[in-house]
């Protein structure tokens, strides 16, 4: 026998019983985001490799070792998107969306791809919901996107499941001084860092702060912190973000060791981290910040921006596990030996009236009724020779275990079912 083909490592099927949970999260996101003035932007799931190399940074883990890249049939270097900020910015520049009233606010939801070590909460194809607000450096937008994440968690009943960590990674004026300070420190502790971090010390020292290896985490406890280096403008901007958050009662913790693995972040960075070990090692659900340098880096006009991305798999792990497969309201059953056409036609008519109706597979009457029960249907609609001659059906209420003869007219039948259900 041939071996059945399975999903590729790090990818998952979302089965019909799980889809309602995804849908409810997606619907909650859409209604909230639209209310805040964010508009959905759908970009392709693969782009020129160069977009990510420039937009995320050559020295990051994502570009360095996590991208699914290949040459297409025309020899172009392309990559399955590992994240979508670069794609949104590309679209913003390509379609000159900066000529519209600023800031322009977008959201997206879709699959992302990273060649990662697969673990709980870490897949190779995963889904992100993200927001981007482009065109203003006013801290009110930093605060708005953070409040948006908080409101999203609240809408899903996830109020007490996480904490917010906040920091500023400075700007082009103050970060170089910190980079040097940190690099000097890291060079003195090379023997207590993992191999990757020894390399990062030279290429991207801030990234060391983001390392998950325990020996590095310990070594970093005595590393210099960025708050000593913030310039006045960065300090003021952060104070203003905090003031807005305080004004609406959002609580957060300052974490001066928080950085992002991506090069384009400036000033505000934040994460929503699951508390109480709910998600094990993969505890960051939502991560974001300001990226004032990215639009210009990708060839657009200098445009400050802020946004976040949220991992939907991790978010769903926080939600109660309740799987649920919807049942049809009625199943149409046709007596063996008679033409199925009237049953087919009645099914379509009932569906046309908004009812969820299924057809039983051909077979013995008992088997057809069993099928209706297994589907969880409330009613079975039986069509037999005598009934058809009288333009009637037998309506079986599978819950009440009663049955009655009714007109075969779809409208009449619907009314009887509604009455039986107390509607
Ligand atoms: P991590 O430190 O966990 O690798 P990251 O810094 O690479 O995360 P971002 O690029 O900021 O993550 O992505 C934002 C969010 O997307 C993460 O907080 C997480 O919820 C989700 N995410 C990122 N990578 C994965 C993955 N491989 N599988 C599932 N979710 C992911
Ligand atoms: Mg990662």
Kindly indicate the confidence band of residue 299, based on its pLDDT and cuts at 50, 70 and 90.
Answer: very high
Answer whether residue 384 shows pLDDT above 70. Answer: yes
Is 334 close to ligand 1, i.e. is its CB under 6 Å away?
Answer: no
**Nearest ligand to the C-alpha of residue 312?**
1
Mean of pLDDT values over 246-269: 88
Kindly indicate the confidence band of residue 319, based on its pLDDT and cuts at 50, 70 and 90.
Answer: confident
Is 261 close to ligand 1, i.e. is its CB under 6 Å away?
Answer: yes
Answer whether residue 9 shows pLDDT above 70. Answer: yes
Distant-in-sequence, close-in-space partners of 37: CB < 8 Å, separation ≥ 6: 105
The residue among 262 and 342 whose pLDDT is bigger is: 342
What is d(CA 338, CA 384) in angstroms, rounded to the nearest whole number?
A: 7
Residue 160 C-alpha to ligand 1 middle, in angstroms?
A: 21
Mean of pLDDT values over 265-293: 92
Q: Which has the closest alpha carbon to 30: 22, 20, 40, 21? A: 40
Mean of pLDDT values over 164-191: 94
Give me the pLDDT at residue 308, please: 98
- Which residues, listed in sequence order, are joined to residue 177 by a DSSP beta bridge? none
What's the pTM value of the predicted model, to 2 decimals?
0.88
Is 123 close to ligand 1, i.e. is its CB under 6 Å away?
Answer: yes
Output the residue whose Cα is nearest ligand 1's atom 24: 122
With the most atoms of ligand 1 within 8 angstroms of its CB, the residue from 162, 163, 212, 287 to mutate is 287
Is 127 close to ligand 1, i.e. is its CB under 6 Å away?
Answer: no
Q: How many CA atoms lie within 13 A of 244 on its CB side?
A: 16
Residue 374 C-alpha to ligand 1 middle, in angstroms?
A: 40
**Virtual CA dihedral for 188, 117, 85, 159, nearest 10 degrees?**
-90
What is d(CA 265, CA 167) in angstroms, rounded to the nearest whole number?
A: 11
Distant-in-sequence, close-in-space partners of 280: CB < 8 Å, separation ≥ 6: 120, 121
pLDDT in tens, 130-155: 999 999 999 999 999 999 999 999 99
Answer whether residue 389 shows pLDDT above 90. Answer: yes
Kindly indicate the confidence band of residue 263, based on its pLDDT and cuts at 50, 70 and 90.
Answer: low
Exposure pattern of 166-205 as b/e (b: 16+ CB <10 Å)?
A: bbbbbbeebbeebbebbbebbeebeeebbebbbebbeebb
Answer whether residue 127 shows pLDDT above 80. Answer: yes
Give me the pLDDT at residue 13, please: 98
Is 61 close to ligand 1, i.e. is its CB under 6 Å away?
Answer: no
Residue 311 C-alpha to ligand 1 middle, in angstroms?
A: 6
Give me the pLDDT at residue 322, please: 59
Give me the pLDDT at residue 57, please: 87
Kindly indicate the confidence band of residue 59, based on its pLDDT and cuts at 50, 70 and 90.
Answer: confident
Find which of 76-90, 185-199, 313-327 is predicted with most confidence, using mean pLDDT: 76-90
Q: With residue 389 as reference, give the H or E element that holds it.
A: helix 385-389
Range 335-344 contact pairs with CB under 8 angstroms and sequence separation of 24 or more = 335/365, 335/382, 335/383, 335/384, 335/385, 336/362, 336/363, 336/364, 336/365, 338/383, 338/384, 338/385, 338/388, 342/383, 342/388, 342/408, 343/383
Output the residue whose Cα is nearest ligand 1's atom 25: 122
Q: Which has the closest alpha carbon to 315: 275, 281, 274, 280? A: 274
Find which of 34-48, 255-269, 324-338 is predicted with most confidence, using mean pLDDT: 34-48
The residue among 325 and 374 whose pLDDT is bigger is: 374
pLDDT in tens, 343-375: 999 999 999 999 999 999 999 999 999 999 999
Answer whether residue 6 shows pLDDT above 80. Answer: yes
For the chain, the average pLDDT equals: 94
Output the residue whose Cα is nearest ligand 1's atom 21: 311
Mean of pLDDT values over 219-245: 95
The residue among 277 and 75 whose pLDDT is bigger is: 75
Kindly indicate the confidence band of residue 261, based on its pLDDT and cuts at 50, 70 and 90.
Answer: low
Is 269 close to ligand 1, i.e. is its CB under 6 Å away?
Answer: no
Q: Which has the closest alpha carbon to 81: 134, 29, 149, 127? A: 127
Give me the pLDDT at residue 280, please: 82
With the most atoms of ligand 1 within 8 angstroms of its CB, the residue from 55, 289, 309 to mutate is 309
Answer whether residue 166 shows pLDDT above 80. Answer: yes
Is 125 close to ligand 1, i.e. is its CB under 6 Å away?
Answer: no
For 251: left if phi > 0, alpha if psi spans -120 to 50, otherwise beta; the answer is beta
Is 318 close to ligand 1, i.e. is its CB under 6 Å away?
Answer: no
């Amino acid at each position: 026998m041939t071996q059945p083909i399975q999903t590729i490592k790090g990818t998952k099927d979302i089965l019909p019983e799980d889809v309602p949970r995804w849908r409810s999260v997606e619907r909650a996101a859409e209604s909230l985001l639209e209310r805040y003035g964010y508009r959905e932007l759908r970009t392709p799931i693969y782009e020129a490799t160069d977009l990510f190399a420039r937009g995320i940074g050559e020295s990051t883990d994502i570009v360095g070792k996590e991208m699914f890249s290949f040459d297409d049939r025309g020899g172009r270097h392309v990559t399955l998107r590992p994240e979508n900020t670069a794609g949104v910015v590309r679209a913003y520049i390509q379609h000159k969306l900066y000529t519209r009233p600023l800031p322009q606010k977008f959201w997206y939801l879709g699959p992302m791809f990273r060649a990662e070590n697969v673990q709980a909460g870490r897949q190779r194809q995963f889904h992100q919901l993200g927001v981007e607000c482009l065109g203003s450096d006013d801290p009110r937008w930093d605060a708005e996107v953070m409040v948006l994440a908080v409101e999203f968690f609240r809408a899903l009943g996830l109020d007490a499941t996480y904490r917010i960590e906040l920091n500023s990674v400075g700007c082009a004026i103050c970060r170089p001084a910190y980079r040097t300070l940190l690099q000097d420190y890291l060079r003195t502790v090379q023997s207590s860092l993992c191999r990757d971090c020894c390399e990062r010390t030279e290429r991207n020292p801030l990234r060391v702060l983001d390392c998950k290896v325990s020996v590095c985490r310990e070594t970093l406890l005595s590393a210099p912190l960025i708050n000593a280096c913030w310039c006045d403008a960065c300090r003021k901007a952060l104070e203003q973000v905090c003031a807005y958050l305080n004004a609406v009662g959002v609580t957060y913790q300052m974490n001066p060791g928080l950085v992002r693995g991506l090069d384009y972040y400036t000033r505000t960075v934040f994460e929503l981290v699951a508390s109480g070990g709910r998600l094990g090692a993969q505890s960051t659900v939502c991560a974001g910040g300001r990226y004032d340098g990215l639009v210009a880096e990708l060839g657009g006009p200098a445009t400050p921006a802020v946004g976040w991305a949220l991992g939907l798999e991790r978010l769903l792990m926080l939600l109660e596990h309740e799987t649920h497969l919807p049942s049809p309201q009625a199943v149409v059953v046709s007596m063996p030996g008679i033409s199925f056409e009237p049953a087919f036609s009645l099914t379509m008519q009932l569906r046309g009236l908004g009812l969820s109706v299924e057809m039983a597979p051909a077979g013995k009457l008992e088997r057809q009724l069993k099928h209706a029960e297994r589907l969880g249907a409330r009613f079975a609609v039986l069509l037999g020779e005598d009934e058809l001659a009288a333009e009637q059906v037998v309506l079986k209420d599978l819950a009440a275990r009663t049955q009655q003869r009714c007109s075969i007219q779809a409208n009449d039948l619907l009314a009887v079912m509604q009455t039986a259900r107390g509607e």
